Amino acid sequence: MTDLELPESSAWWKAAVTIGGFTLFWTWETFWPFIAPAEHRLRHAGRNVAIAIANRLMLAILFGSAIVGVVQISAQREWGLLRQSGMSQGFQFLMALLLLDGWMYVWHRANHRIPFLWRFHRMHHSDRSMDVTTATRFHIGEHLISSLLKLGLIPLFGLSLGHLLLYETLVVGITMFHHANISLGRCDAWLRWILVTPFMHKVHHSREHVETDSNFSTVFSVWDHLARSYRMRTDCATIAFGLQDLADADWQTIKGMLITPLVSISSRGSEPEDQ
C-alpha cells in the first residue's frame, strides 16, 4: 500500500470523527452542560462553524494539491527522518504522531509568545463562551502560516499523507473533546496524565494571563508536563473565558473575528491578582 492509497479510507475516518464527535459533544453539552453558556448557543455556534467552513474551503484550494505534491516528491527522494530510520511502518506511524504532536506544542506556544502570531491566535481565545464549536474557531491567517510550515515538516520528518490524516483525525476528535462544555468528574484528573482534557484546556482559555499562557498541548498532555507549562485549578466552574480587551459583542461577530489581527489591544488577558 502506497502513501497515496492510505488516505482514501483515512479521509472517511476523519469525516466520520468530525460528524460523530460534533454530534456527541453538542448533545452532551446541551443536556448536561458544565457551565451555563454565556452566549446564545445557536448564534455562537453558527458564527464559529461558518468561519471553520470558510477556512476549510480556502485551505483545500490553496494547499490540497501542494501537500500531495510535497509528499510525492519526499517519497520519491526518500527524504525525512522517518524514511531514513529503517523503522517498520507501525513504528513510523507512532513516531509521526509524536513528532507532529510535539511540533504542535511548539507551534501553539509560539503563537502565545510571538506578538505577530498572537494577533491571529487571539481570535480563538476571544471566545467568551467555550464549547465544542470553539474548537473550530481559528483565524485563516493562523491556518495559512501553519500550512506553509507544514510543507516544510513533510520532507523534514518524512511524513506520508496517511501520517498527516491520522494525526489530523486525532486532533479533530481531541480538540472537540477538550473544548466541549462538559465535565468528566474525577476521571478528568486521571485522563489528563495522558491526554488534554476539558478541565485542563478550560484553564488555557481563562482570562487570567498566567493561565492563558499554560497547557499548550494539543493531543498528548506529556509536553506540558515535560516543559513545565502545566497548570490546573480546582474551581474550573468559575473560570472567566475570553480576553478582557476583546470581550465586547462586536468582537464576537464574523466581521469582528476576521479583523481581530488588525487592531491593537493592551494585553493578552487580565494579570493575575498575585503578581
Q: Which residue ranges of the chain lie beneath pLDDT 50?
A: 1-2, 4-5, 269-275
Domains of the chain: total: 1
Q: What pLDDT, in 10s, does the model give residues 48-89? A: 999 999 999 999 999 999 999 999 999 999 999 999 998 888
Distance CA 221, CA 193 (A): 6
Residues 6+ apart with CB under 8 A from 196: 174, 178, 215, 217, 218, 219, 220, 221
| Rg of the chain over all Cα atoms, to the nearest angstrom | 19
Q: What pLDDT, in 10s, does the model give residues 229-248? A: 999 998 999 999 999 999 99
- Model's pTM, two decimal places? 0.91
Q: Does some domain include residue 77? A: yes
List Cα–Cα distances, 129 to 39, 229, 237, 242, in angstroms. Answer: 6, 24, 12, 8
Q: Does some domain include residue 23? A: no
Run of H or E residues at 187: helix 187-191
Q: Does some domain include residue 108? A: yes
List Cα–Cα distances, 97 to 13, 157, 240, in angstroms. Answer: 16, 11, 33
The domain in which residue 97 lies consists of 52-262
Q: Does some domain include residue 89? A: yes
Q: Does some domain include residue 14? A: no
**In the structure grid, which three cell numbers stand for residue 8, read together?**
482514501
Q: Is 208 exposed, middle or buried (0-12, 13-18, 19+ CB in 10 A)?
A: buried
pLDDT value of position 271: 38
pLDDT value of position 39: 77
